[in-house]
Structure 1
């Protein structure tokens, strides 16, 4: 995966505020590049330095293998949840998920401006890399 794409995904994820969440596909759509699988791959391999728990499946399920840690982070941040997280927290039993309908990140105008800068930078970098050297102008 291109470094430029990884950096753009991580830069965007770093903007998501506490208590909010987005689906992998939302990140790809905001960047105008890639798709849910590409974003998921970036988060799986490179996402430990950003709030990874705020990016999840469109179902609202936490990243696989990180459910317990993610639940504690969601509760600490006040992220809206659905299901029986109390029993899960106590016994490991029960199903829960993030309520994306209530907790999906709705960027402010200022945040959209920052997202646009990230997306435009990515587009320029990917376009530059896809143009053969003999077609580039200096």
Structure 2
């Protein structure tokens, strides 16, 4: 995976505010590059330094293997939840998920400006890397 793509995904995830969430596909759509699987791969390998719990599967389920830790973050941030999350906190039993319909991040104009800058930088970097180097300058 290209480091430029990793950096772009992580930069975008850092913009997602507390109490909100996005799906892997939302991230790729906002970047205009990759897809849900690529974003998931970035998050699983490099996402520990950003608010990883705010990036979910499209059905609102937390990242596999990190449900308990993610749930603590969701409760602390006031993220809308569905199901028996209180039972899960008490006993480790019960099914729950983020109410992605209510929690989905809707970037404001300032956030879109930042997202556009991230996406444009990624596009320039990827285009620069894929352009043939024929030794000629334009």
TM-score by length of 1: 0.98
Q: Which residue in 1 is equivalent to 2:7?
A: 7
Paired positions, count: 138
Q: What displacement does 1:137 show?
A: 3.1
1:39 paired to 2:28: no
1:87 paired to 2:90: no
Unaligned runs of 5+ residues in structure 2 are none
Partners of 1:97 and 1:136 lie apart in 2 by 54
Query: Alpha-carbon deviations, 1:47-79, whole Å to 9, x = none?
Result: 000000000100000000000000000000000
* CA pair 135-112 structure 1, distance change in 2 beyond 3 A: farther
Partners of 1:3 and 1:38 lie apart in 2 by 12
Unaligned runs of 5+ residues in structure 1 are none
Partners of 1:15 and 1:4 lie apart in 2 by 17
Q: Which residue in 2 is equivalent to 1:105?
A: 105
Partners of 2:135 and 2:39 lie apart in 1 by 30
Q: Where does structure 1 differ by over 2 angstroms across 4 or more consecutive aligned residues?
A: 135-138
Equivalent positions of 1:112-123 (< 5 A) are 112-123=112-123
Q: Which residue in 2 is equivalent to 1:134?
A: 134
Q: Which residue in 2 is equivalent to 1:26?
A: 26
Partners of 1:6 and 1:136 lie apart in 2 by 30
Root mean square deviation of aligned Cα? 1.0
